[in-house]
Amino acid sequence: MRGAFMVDARVELNKYSNKVLAVVKAKYDLKDKSQALNKFVELYGANEVEPEVKEEYVKKILKIEEDYYKNCSHRKMSGKELDKLFGK
């Protein structure tokens, strides 16, 4: 996954970290350990840092809320309605 903002970094890995990256690289058929490190962070980074929410998603949620209040006279949404809205 390549973003618009890339950082070059030189890192020192211990033997175990190097082995983990080698396995990730092989498992996902990646070109190099840089891609393996990015993949590892993509897979497990959310445990440490919440991913950023895309602006389009926020706009979509705000539109859903706006439409709901237009149609429901500003009453509070029930749990069942909320579940239905999100396909549960």
Q: Give 2-42 pLDDT, tens digit per residue.
A: 556 788 889 999 999 999 999 999 999 999 999 999 999 99
Residue 71 has pLDDT above 70, yes or no: yes
| Residue 77 · residue 61 · CB < 8 Å | no
Average pLDDT of the chain? 85
Q: Is 34 exposed, middle or buried (CB count within 10 Å of its CB: 0-12, 13-18, 19+)?
A: middle
Buried b (16+ CB within 10 A) or exposed e, 56-80: eeeeeeeeeeeeeeeeeeeeeeeee
Arithmetic mean of pLDDT, 64-85: 77
**pLDDT confidence of residue 22:** 97
